[in-house]
A and B are shown apart, each in its own frame.
Chain A
Amino acid sequence: METLTALAGGFSVALTPVNLLWSLAGVTLGTAVGVLPGIGPALTVALLLPVTYSLDPTPAFIMFAGIYYGGMYGGSTTSILLNMPGESASVMTAVEGHLMARAGRGGAALATAAIGSFVAGTLATAALTVSAPAMVELALRFGPAEYFALAVLAFVAVAAVLGESRLHGFASLLFGLLLGIIGIDPLTGVPRLTFGIPQLLDGIDVVVVAVGLFAVGEVLYSASRKSVDPEIVTFRAAPWMTRSDWARSWGPWLRGAAIGFPLGALPTGGAEIPTFLSYAVERRLAGNHGEFGRGAIEGVAGPEAANNASAAGALVPLLALGLPTTATAAVMLAAFQQYGLQPGPLLFQHEPRLVWGLIASLYVGNLMLLVLNLPLVGVWVRLLTIPRPFLHASILVLSSAGAYSVNRSAFDVGMLYAIGGIGYLMRCHSIPLAPAIIGVILGPMAEQQLRRALAIGEGSPVVLVTRPVSALLLVVAVVLVVAPAVVARLRRRHRPA
């Protein structure tokens, strides 16, 4: 009850007309910036930090929350329409979303992404309101062993996206793992596979890999087939979600939110694993009858919902422990400190007005996102009516600018093109692209956490199974691997009878 009163107080702060305007400004700016690959919400918030010198804390944070959500959503727009994931969390959206856009269902894909983001973001913010302290206790039980088990689970789950040929999927995954090794080994500080090139010391940014494989590879591939490839259809039938789209979307939205929020709350969770898992869940639920591989709306609705829910989840450790777990949260922490506020368990007691105002502004930001983006869906889809020579040329120019901005380095642009060339060759030989990205993201995490877990356990792998959470996750992973085979065998045995 106390919580609800506090939240109502928060809304009375957030819903003043001036603060609504700040929220709108934040969401607009965030979306505009999120559309650009390589420029994420963290940079935008950092850029606007000086604003805090002249602004009260409440409107400033309301605007930052808007940027955060807007940036998350902006990345999915380009994933769907241009196959250009603006950030690693929207890679899974590109897989089915772009297929939908090519089939003339870009409007429905954008709409389910926007509404799914809203639904999941609102649910997750509600969960943040009631369960932040409990989530923190859960998150604290996650040590290296648990993160390793979670990564193993994600690997097993996404085996589904390995494509038609297991071998090809595996090749792609290995390519990603290899790219992920490049750079300074964080545990020992030893450079690996950097060949003495200083720009490689920090590894290859995931955004460069994703944009290279997807966007640049796609342009090259289209060029090779321009005479045989049919023009991209802008609209086939309804530009909007049909009744069946709605029916197929709400389940993934809810499941995405349920996956995204708790994983987002983990201190090193990030937004990627929830999107992988959500995609894998939807794909398994759809079975062989679904449209997966040809543009399934479930494959957009789920990951998008998971992405937005995890963004709200990331605020749990920030508000409750003062621990920034994403770059954006780190910048927001800096902003808190700008006002002499120290986020953490004491913040709820010392500055209730601000905390609940911020939580209320998350609800408002979500609503603003929907208000801003739904009317724009039709406009965005018309991007595809740009004549193909200019569309593809613009994609390359924007990708280059985005890749440059990641590390302010021309080397990354060259890297982007090289990876784009590899992406083209992979497509020519029907090797799927998504497993490579999964390898880049999950590989380093799995390796480091395993090595940390082993070091803490004095070199003994027993720690992986003696800790309950880790053991549970590993059991689920084993079941996922073994169950289909067992079920198939049982069926075979029963059939002759």
Chain B
Amino acid sequence: MAARLSVAVAVLMATAFVRTEAAAQNDASTPAPRPLRNLTIIAPAAPGGGWDQLAREMQREIDRQRLAAGVQVENVPGAAGTIGLAQLINGRRGDGEALLVNGLVMLGAILWNQSPVSLAQVTPIARLTGEYEIVAVPANSPHRDMRSLVAALRANPAAVSWGGGSAGGTDHLLAGLIVAAAGLDPRRTNYIAFSGGGEAVTALIGGQVTAGISGYSEFAQHIESGRLRAIAISAPRGASDLEVPSLVEQGLDVELANWRAVVAPPGLTEGQREALTAVVERMAHSESWRGTLNRLGWTDSYLAGPAFERFLDSERIRIGRIVARLRGSADGTSAPQVGEWLFPALVLGACAIVLALIVLGRSTSGRDRAAKNAPVVRVALGLVASAALLDPMGFVPSGTVLFACTASAFGSRRRLRDIVLGLTLCAVVYVAFTDGLGVALPAGVLFGRR
């Protein structure tokens, strides 16, 4: 009992702690009436990345300027943001209190993975930031400009390895564009995808790859400290105040900006859309937002309304073209890379052999004779029921069913007590996760959508 109490106390402490922190920020003065009372900004990525950072900066800014109340950030990580996008399209239709952070990376992933959802299905709100890409080499590299890198590329495309972020992302697209602009088949780009910018930057500093591509902010301090040398920027001629010559100036007709934007769910009324746009616009035009952008080294590229819609359309066509050229079909001219099916084939083959050996040697491994099936079936029923109930009914009913089934499988005979205990536990867990940790468990029928 003491143990259970201490767990409960710890959870409550955690809850109370986070709540007071939240309250401390909100209650500085009485809030004025405003249209949005429950704005959720969805960052379709795990905490820590660029989209998450943009979402949290927006939350902070909108909160500080009191442009909307109860602003929350929700992380929906997965598949370069397309899981979050799918959720916005399918689960939040007509919800005028939600914004989804997205950008070129998501557009690239949609096209690259031929995703069933697309950015044409949502309500565009505004583009917020842009960042040009830098091509950099390690300090001890023989390449001092794009001219020598392109010469090496033309001599042997496979010998020039490009390090950057995930396949189909901005860095990959730029590598393909450069190779194409050098007059080579983009399929021969020897692009090495790393997970996360940090890994790619380390590989570049360590001289593991010939050249690296990333946003300036990832490279900045390493360029400053002399470990890396920037040899090109993907900005239009004269658009950047950095002391790095653009690709265009070095004879390669390539421009690319890694833009980030916010969109809203589909099916909004004109009023809902205007309310969201107004909040974002007032935030983006404030002095303090400019300060935030400066601090993070992001460029302001605010664009809203029909202009933003036109921009989205043109990017979709342009990026779609690059992706199609980069993918192509594998033939003799492609990069020197091991295909993605070799390893799965090896594992599946080994699985078949081991299974065969196990089946042949069956006699040796007998099933546990002491095992009883009835209680297992009861727990399994609880698991199936709870999985089925989780989304439609919510966490609390589904967890209670699971609790009661499991308790009865282990010999508990007092149904009512089990249900009450399960209900209590699930309610505590629900409150602790949803309010304390900011992980919204499915609310279902009991609590309703908040």
Residues of A within 8 A of B (CB): 25, 28-29, 31-33, 35, 39, 42-51, 53-54, 139-144, 165, 167-168, 170-171, 174-175, 177-178, 181, 184-193, 198-199, 201-202, 216, 219-220, 222-228, 267-268, 317, 321-325, 327, 330-331, 333-334, 337, 340, 342, 344-346, 376, 379-380, 382-383, 385-390, 392-394, 396-398, 400-401, 404-405, 407-410, 413-414, 417, 420-421, 424, 428-430, 443, 447, 450-452, 454-456, 458-459
| Cβ B161 vs Cβ A455 within 8 A | yes
Q: How large is the interface on B (under 10, 10 to 19, 20 to 34, 35 or more residues)?
A: 35 or more
The answer to whether B399 touches A43, judged by C-beta atoms less than 8 angstroms apart, is no
**Does residue B79 face the partner (Cβ distance < 8 Å to A)?**
yes
A399 CA to B298 CA, complexed, in Å: 40
B318 contacts the other chain (CB 8 A): no
Closest 6 CB pairs of A and B: A330-B48, A46-B47, A189-B167, A143-B208, A459-B336, A389-B410
Within 8 A of A (CB), among B65-106: 74-79, 82-83, 86
- Pairs A–B under 8 Å by Cβ, sample size 20: A140-B205, A191-B113, A192-B344, A202-B77, A223-B376, A223-B379, A223-B409, A267-B199, A317-B198, A337-B295, A337-B296, A346-B221, A397-B403, A397-B426, A404-B395, A405-B437, A408-B440, A413-B387, A447-B343, A454-B336
- B144 touches A (CB below 8 Å): no
A447 smallest CB distance to B (angstroms): 5
Q: Which residues of B contact A (CB under 8 A)?
A: 2-4, 6-7, 10-11, 13-14, 17-18, 21-22, 24-25, 46-49, 52-53, 56, 59-60, 74-79, 82-83, 86, 109, 112-113, 115-116, 158-159, 161, 166-168, 190, 192-196, 198-199, 201-203, 205-206, 208-209, 220-222, 224-225, 295-296, 335-338, 340-341, 343-344, 347-348, 350-351, 354-355, 357-358, 361, 365, 367-368, 370-373, 375-376, 378-380, 382-384, 386-387, 390-391, 395, 398-399, 402-404, 406-412, 418, 421-422, 425-426, 429, 433, 437-442
Complexed CA–CA distance, A44 and B112 (Å)? 33
On chain B, the residues within 8 Å of A202 by CB distance are 77-79, 83
Given that A224-B375, A383-B3, A428-B367 are contacting pairs, would A187 and B337 also be in contact in the complex, using a CB cutoff of 8 Å? yes
> Cβ of B337 and Cβ of A410 under 8 Å apart?
no
Q: B372: which A residues are within 8 A, CB to CB?
A: 223-227
Which residues from chain B contact A333 at a C-beta distance below 8 Å? 48
The docked-state distance in angstroms from the alpha carbon of A379 to that of B5 is 10
CA distance A321 to B10 in the complex (A): 36
Residues of A within 8 A of B421 (CB): 390
Contacts A191-B113, A346-B224, A396-B406: A46 and B52 contacting too (C-beta < 8 A)?
Answer: yes
Closest to A421 in B: B380
Q: Say whether B379 contacts A139, CB under 8 Å.
A: no
Contact in complex: B336, A407 (CB < 8 Å):
no
CA distance A331 to B46 in the complex (A): 10
Which residues of the other chain, A, contact B365 by a CB distance below 8 angstroms? 165, 168, 429-430
Contact A47 B18 (CB under 8 A): yes
**Closest-CB distance, A460 to chain B (whole angstroms):** 8
B48 CB contact (under 8 Å) in A46, A170, A417: A46
Measured in the bound complex, the distance between the Cα atoms of B47 and A408 in whole Å is 13
Task: Given A39-B439, A186-B193, A401-B429, verify A28-B403 contact (CB < 8 Å).
Answer: no
